[in-house]
Amino acid sequence: MSDFTQTVQPALDDKQLFDYVRTLLGWPIIEVELTETQFKLLFQQAIDKYSRLIPKLRWFSIPAFAGIQEYELPRDTIGYGVTEVLIPRLDPIAPLLLSSGPRLDIFGYRYSYPYRDINELFIDQFYFKEASRILSAEFDWEYIDGALRIYPKPDEPFPLTYASAFPRDIQSIPTDDQDWFRDYLLAQAKLIVGHIRRKFSIPGAQTGQQLDGRELVQEGTIALAAAEQDLLRRTPPFPLYRT
């Protein structure tokens, strides 16, 4: 039986990416008109493009209180915007005789054990079935001007958990999308180098022969459009940001 060694793709590195882009543009055989300053700009644009559609989600929790529906969220926990808000799920009815005392949920229904007769058990079962159906459909929230509002109004304190979208850095680009990042950078570089080369002709040419700037601009435009469509196909169905 032959051994199988799984190769792990290394994390992206900005210096390696710079050399990768220049190499595919002809370097070191051809002098490539792309400076480190220009590359850093293209690099950040690619990060921003990816982050807007596939951001890094970070989770936070704040205490919520009985009767309070509006909460000011810390500014450093908001990022691009809030994508999801969670409330504690209703606990299932505990087995008979196992309760340590009265229990309550955040919307005010109180129940206790043991049950005195089967009718009380039936009432609790009916309540939880209907409450779960209603709350899963009707619980809502909105985030406007720095304030998070939740509906319906809670009856008891509970931990309020929310997720926010944040920009990524190069280390957090998933391995499966590293090929997209390289392709997008190359497409951007072709555009900027093409625009530069269109302004110059080959030195010493008697017929005014131009460089390949026009072709590079065309290639870059097509590749950039293809990369943007590819990113849309890779984007998971995130909830809409609420900012």
- pLDDT at position 117 is 66
* 218 pLDDT more than 80: yes
Residue with tokens 């460089």: 211
* 144 pLDDT more than 90: no
* 159 pLDDT more than 50: yes
Pairing mode, if any, of strands 56-64 and 110-111? unpaired
Q: How far apart are CA 10 and CA 107, in angstroms?
A: 49
- pLDDT at position 133 is 58
- What's the average model confidence in pLDDT over 32-38? 91
- pLDDT at position 184 is 97
* Residue 238 binned pLDDT confidence (cut-offs 50, 70, 90): low
More confident of the two residues 2 and 52: 52
- pLDDT at position 6 is 38
DSSP secondary structure, 195-229, as one string: HHHTT-B-TT-TT--B-THHHHHHHHHHHHHHHHH
* 212 pLDDT more than 60: yes
Q: Cβ contacts of residue 59 below 8 Å, gap of 6+?
A: 161, 162, 163
- pLDDT at position 97 is 33
Give the helix/strand (H/E) hosting 136. Answer: helix 118-138
* Residue 157 binned pLDDT confidence (cut-offs 50, 70, 90): confident
Written as one letter, the residue type at 191 is L
- pLDDT at position 8 is 40
* Residue 158 binned pLDDT confidence (cut-offs 50, 70, 90): confident
Q: How far apart are CA 183 and CA 191, in angstroms?
A: 13
Lowest mean pLDDT among 48-52, 71-75, 117-121: 117-121
List the domain boundaries for the chain: 14-54+168-234, 68-159
Question: What is the pTM assigned to this prediction?
Answer: 0.69
